[in-house]
Structure 1
Amino acid sequence: MSGLSETERAGCKNILKLMSKGDLLSLSDTVTNKMIVVENVTEAMEAILSFTLNAEELLRRKKVLRDLIFKYLATEGVAMPPNSEKHQLVKRTLELWSSGKANETRLGEEETRQRPPTETASDSTNMKAEVGFDPLVLGQQFCQWFFQLLNSQNLSLGQQPQDWGPQHFWPDVKLHLLSRAGSEQIEEFLGAELVSLRLLALTREERLLLSPNLEPHGLRALASPHGLVLVAVAGTIHRDEACLGVFEQIFGLIRSPLENNSWKIKFVNLKIRGQDALGGTEMAAPALSYNSTELQLLCS
């Protein structure tokens, strides 16, 4: 789909590498018209390059700042007057690429050489927290913690129940629970106390064991610019030796500044489908049926 030559692609990639994570993700949304949800910087770059029709269009985009193009040309050994305007820099970059003289790998190597392993990105100290933040890693860690904690309340497993309770939720947390096992049931709960008790009942009273699928097709995570992180996970539900069905769960997480910035749960959407509602489909490792757009809508 991309209309970029190899040289243009390599050059554009080197310019994108100079961008902050926030700008990259935002540019990816603009270029792909939000049709593709990206999980990290690498995916954002790939999406931008794939959906860009020509190099000039990309260079002229607002997020591709004049300074980035200036810096890129400097690393290519092209000296431009410091007061050059953006359109002049764009023109010079396109000339460089069409002449085929761009050093396609130089920038990547330079960056690796100059940057000590612990640095995140050159000259962007204010971005450190941002650059190091990967919603998918948070999603995996959160799911491991959450399901271990919830499953430990199931007494038939013979584990020591861990510290479950309303303290892990925001006071106005919402739970939307949809279960299909024979008939369809929808339950809604509001408030940390009720939500934590209803989820607790799944494992303690109903003796269920929720086993999340943390492989790529079973887990997605997405961060909104306002600090809400969505974690969607699919998995299987068991009781004793039997597999009873599958579940899909979406968590909305927000940091609590009053509690060491720890993540707390703002909302939970849980869909449970019993074996009979599945019509005998494969149970091995359920995949998420939520698509990127549905997750985006929850973020907005």
Structure 2
Amino acid sequence: MGAQELLSMLTDVELMSVKDTVTKSMMPANSRSEAIDACLKCSQSAMQLLRRKKVRRDILMQYLARKSIPVVAGTDKVRLIKQIIDFWNTGSQAVATNSSQAISLPSIEQLSHQFTEWFYTSWNTLTTFACDHFFPDCQLTLIHENHRRVLGSYYVCDLLRSYVANQDLRFTPNVQSNKAQESTHGLVLLQMHGTIHQRGTCVGIFDQSFGLIRDPTHSNNYLIKFCFLNMQTQQSQQQQQQLTSANLSTPTYLVDIMQNYDQTVQQQIDSTDYIIDDGDDSD
């Protein structure tokens, strides 16, 4: 059931809070499954359940992303709820067909804005920030630490989490400065720029780049293949102006990555021997 899957995306505290609100604290729950069951039984409608405060807008967006349903950046919570309910009422198969048709001509700029909103909301709150959003062999390069590299989804996710959990940093991207490119074989390169905040004070700026690839084992959703992060905590007037510049050139190393990726894929295709079984060949 769709509502059950969506509720499972909440944290334990959030889920129990929703359960207490829906049941007016009249139904105890000793496990997550019991809490979800209570929410489903005591909610008058799906709309009423999804409009609960703890069912946040970013959770709704992430659920739609899991189902490969396009979402326009900036969509309010009510419209997201209606989109989810339409998905449940129409049936996943029909909606998936419509979604695949819509995705066949994707807007890279739209993807860039959607990814930016989802990633930094998830990163700053750590609510759904998990290693399953990264490929197992994902690589993170820290430019501000002499290009130190971290390999593996668990270690990449853990290090990024530490900036928020341990150093209390928050990252605010400037979406207007985003840059997006797509290679011939489907590698999407996104570049973001923004400010770094700590306990209410702006303490620096950052530049971050992502390489995204669709994964057929995850409902054809995009996962992070690689990431570059550069943080600068000493600002200048010139650096501040860079945040609003839309003409920042793509770093050479990122261009090389895209070219090397396409060349590698093409070499694999060229080196493969295809055997075509001709049914009309009597031999």
Paired position in structure 2 for 1:245: 204
Alpha-carbon distance in structure 2 between the residues aligned to 1:225 and 1:189? 27
Corresponding position: 1:139 with 2:112: yes
Give yes or no for contact 1:222–1:230 (8 Å, CA) kept in 2.
yes
Residue-by-residue CA offset, 1:133-157 (whole Å, 9 max, x unaligned): 111110110010000000003xxxx
Structure with the higher fraction of residues in helix conformation? 2
Runs of 4+ aligned structure 1 residues displaced above 2 Å come to 127-132, 184-187, 278-285, 287-290, 292-298
1:259 paired to 2:259: no
Name the SS of the counterpart of 1:258 in structure 2.
helix
If you compute each CA radius of gyration, which structure gives the higher value, 1 or 2? 1
Shift, 1:297, TM fit? 2.6
* Equivalent residue, structure 2, for 1:57: none
- Aligned-pair distance for 1:193? 0.5
Q: Number of paired residues? A: 158
- Summarize the Cα distance change of 1:207–1:185 in structure 2 as closer, same or farther, 3 Å threshold: farther
For structure 1, the residue ranges without an aligned partner over 5 or more in a row are 1-126, 154-161
Q: Which residue of 1 aligns with 2:240?
A: 283
2:138 paired residue among 156, 169, 173 = 173
Displacement of 1:198: 0.5
The corresponding residue for 2:170 is 209
After TM superposition, give the deviation of residue 163 of structure 1 in Å.
1.5
Equivalent position of 1:149 in the other structure? 122
Aligned equivalents of 1:221 and 1:227: distance in 2?
A: 12
The answer to whether the 8 A contact 1:233-1:288 is kept is no
**2:151 matched to 1:194?**
no
Q: Distance in 1 between matches of 2:246 and 2:166?
A: 27
Deviation at 1:244, TM superposition (A): 0.9
- Tell me the SS of whatever aligns to 1:245: strand
Map residues 57-96 of structure 1 onto 2, 5 A cutoff: none
Identity, in percent, stands at 31
Q: Partners in 2 of 1:231 and 1:292 — Cα distance?
A: 10
Deviation at 1:232, TM superposition (A): 0.4
- Whole-Å separation in 1 of the counterparts to 2:164 and 2:178: 21
Corresponding position of 1:163: 128
C-alpha displacement of 1:225: 0.9
Alpha-carbon separation, structure 2, partners of 1:288 and 1:188: 28
Q: Which has the bigger relative contact order, CA under 8 A and spacing at least 6? A: 1
Distance verdict in 2 for CA 1:266–1:282, change over 3 Å: closer
- The alignment partner of 2:122 has SS state of helix
Alpha-carbon spacing, 1:285–1:207, altered in 2? closer, same or farther (3 Å): farther
CA distance in 2, matches of 1:239, 1:261: 36
Cα distance 1:139–1:188, how it changes in 2: closer, same or farther (>3 A)?
same
Letter in 2 for 1:139: S
Deviation at 1:236, TM superposition (A): 0.4
Residues 21-68 of structure 1 show CA distances to partners (whole Å, capped at 9, x for unaligned) of xxxxxxxxxxxxxxxxxxxxxxxxxxxxxxxxxxxxxxxxxxxxxxxx
Residue 232 of structure 1 corresponds to which residue in structure 2? 191
Amino acid at match of 2:181: L
